[in-house]
Amino acid sequence: GRVSLWGGRFAGGPADALAALSKSTHFDWRLAAYDIAGSRAHARVLHRAGLLDDATLEAMLTALGQLAADVESGAFVPADDDEDVHTALERGLIERAGADVGGRLRAGRSRNDQVATLFRMYLRDHARSVAALVLDVVDAIVSQAQQHPEVAMPGRTHLQHAQPVLLAHHLQAHAWALLRDVQRFQDWDVRAAISPYGSGALAGSSLGLDPEAVAADLGFDSSVENSIDGTASRDFVAEFAFVAAMTAVDISRLAEEVVLWATKEFGFVTLDDAYSTGSSIMPQKKNPDVAELARGKAGRLVGDLAGLLTTLKSLPLAYNRDLQEDKEPVFDAVDTLEVLLPAFSGMVATMVFDTDRLESLAPQGFSLATDIAEWLVREGVPFRVAHEVAGACVRACEARGIELWDLSDEDLTAISPHLTAGVRSVLTVEGSLASRDAKGGTAPARVGEQRERLVEAATAARAW
Ligand code: ARG
C-alpha cells in the first residue's frame, strides 16, 4: 500500500488520481543530493540540542552516507508510491537505518523549510555553472575582437547604415551586456545565500535547534529572519528566472545578428561547418541553426519567467501547494542555458568574418555625413546649419549616384562656402573612427583600452 507521511489522522490512503497529481519525483529528484546534505546538517543540530545521542547520530550519518552513495550510483531511485524527493529519501533512510533511528530525523523540520533550502542550494550551484558558460561566450567574443582590432564595419541604427564603427567595438558591446548578466547572478547570490532551514512548516521550531548552525553547515551566509518569509517566499526563484531570461535575451540579440550576417545579402560571416546544418532537400544550404535555436530558446526562457510569476501572483502566506510549481520553470531555464551556451560560444569562436566586405561597406550609405557636420562645427558653423549642409551633400550625391568623397572642390563650395577641401580629411573611415576618441567611443585606441577593462572584469567575474 501507499505510505504517507501523515497516516495518523487518516483512515485510508490517497486516491490514485490524487497521488498522480501530487507526485513530483519526476522533476524534483535532481534535488536529492541537496536533500541528503540538509539531512546531515539537521541530524547534527538535533544531536547538539540533545535530541539524538552519539550512537544514534553516528548510525544516522552512516545510513545517510550509504543513501547518498546509492542515489549517486542509481541503486536507489524513487518508487512509484513516493510523492516527492523528501518522502523517497526518508523511505531510503529508514530502509538503511531502521524505523527507530530513521524516524527521528523528521523532528523539527518540515518539507516546507526543507524544499525552500534545497532549492536555494541547487540554484546557487547552477548560477555558478551557468555564469561560467556565459563567460565562455564573453571569451569567444573577446577573442574575435582581438583577432580584428582595427576592422571597420557599418554601424547601424534602425538597421540602416548610421556611422562606421569598429567590428571589435560592436562585438564588445554584446560582451558587456553578457558580463552584466553574470554580475546579476552574483548579486542575486547575496540574497539567495540565506537559509530557511529551521523555519519548520511556517512558525519556526520549538526543539531548540540552531538555524544559524545549519545555515553555516550548508554553505549559507546566515539563516532567515522570519520563518514565514523563509518558507513562503519565492522571489529568489523569480529573480533567478529573470536573470536567466535576460541572459537568453541578450544572447538572442547577437544570435539575430549572426543570422543576418550569414545571409548572402550581408555576407559578413561564414559559420564553421561544425556549427552549421544542411538541408535534406536543398544541397546548397548551410543554415545558422545554432543562432536560430538561441533566438527561439530566449522565448522559452521568457515563458518560464512569466509562468513562474503568474504562479506566485496573489498567493497568500505561508506555504501553499501551488509552490510546488516553482521548480520546473527554472529547471527548464537552467537545462536550456546549459545546453545552449556551449554551442553558442563554439559558433562565435569559430565564425569567420569577411573583413574586406565589412571594410568596404563601412562608408557606404553616406555613413560619413555626420563627420561632415561635425567638421563644420569645429570650423565654427552652428550645428543646425552644419546639419543642413551635410544633408545637401547627401542629396547632391544621391541625385548623381556618387559617394560623398566623389564631390569635387567646386561641388563642395557650390553647396556651401564653409565647405573647403579640408573636409576631405574626415571623409575616410579611418578619419571618422579616429575622431570618436573620447572614453566609450569607437576610436581604435579607445576600443583597445575598453577591451583591457572588459577582460579584467571578465577575469574578476570568473573568480567567483
Ligand atoms: N513537494 C513540495 C514542494 O515542492 C514540498 C512538500 C510540501 N508539501 C506540503 N504538503 N507541505 O513544494
pLDDT in tens, 272-324: 999 999 888 888 888 999 999 999 999 999 999 999 999 999 999 999 999 99
Q: Is the pLDDT of residue 262 over 60?
A: yes
1 pLDDT band (50/70/90 cuts)? very low
How many A from CA of 246 to the centre of ligand 1? 29
Q: What are phi and psi of 419, to 5 degrees?
A: -85, 95
Q: What is the pLDDT of residues 19-45, one digit of tens each?
A: 999 999 999 999 999 999 999 999 999
Atom of ligand 1 nearest to the CA of 119: 4
Is the distance from CB of 149 to CB of 448 less than 8 angstroms? yes
**Is this structure's pTM higher than 0.90?**
yes
Dihedral, 452, 457, 458, 463 alpha carbons, nearest 10: 130
Question: Is 26 an active-site residue?
Answer: no
Using the predicted structure, report yes or no on whether residue 358 has a pLDDT greater than 70. yes
Residue 3 has pLDDT above 80, yes or no: no
Query: Quick check: CB of 432 below 6 Å from ligand 1?
Result: no
C-beta 109 within 6 A of ligand 1: no
Q: What is the pLDDT of residue 279?
A: 83
**How do the domains of the chain map onto residue ranges?**
7-107, 112-197+228-361, 369-427
Q: Which run of H or E residues covers position 333?
A: helix 327-350
**How close is the Cα of 65 to the center of ligand 1, in Å?**
24
Beta strands in 331-402 (DSSP E): 352-353
For residue 112 and ligand 1, the question of a CB distance below 6 A is answered with yes
- Residue 250 Cβ contacting ligand 1 at under 6 Å: no
Candidate list 26, 73, 158, 408, residue with the active-site label: 158
CA distance 82 to 94: 14
Ligand 1 atom with least separation from CA of 24: 1
119 lines ligand 1 (CB under 6 A): no
**Is 279 noted as a catalytic residue in this protein?**
yes
For 7-107, which CATH class? mainly alpha
Out of 22, 143, 222, 279, the active site residue is: 279
Does the beta carbon of 24 lie inside 6 Å of ligand 1?
yes
Query: What mean pLDDT do residues 158-180 have?
Result: 97
Question: Percent of the chain scored above 90 by pLDDT?
Answer: 93
Q: Label the pairing between strands 222-223 and 352-353.
A: unpaired
Q: Are 359 and 152 in contact (CB under 8 A)?
A: yes
- Averaged over 54-75, what is the pLDDT? 98
Phi, psi of 26 (to 5 degrees): -65, -15
What digits encode the pLDDT tens for the residues 174-232?
A: 999 999 999 999 999 999 999 999 999 999 988 989 999 999 999 999 999 999 999 99
Topology given in CATH for the domain delimited by 369-427: Ribonucleotide Reductase Protein R1; domain 1 (1.10.40)
Give the count of beta carbons closer than 10 Å to the beta carbon of residue 349. 16
CATH topology of domain 112-197+228-361: Fumarase C; Chain A, domain 2 (1.20.200)
Cell 544570435 -> residue: 255
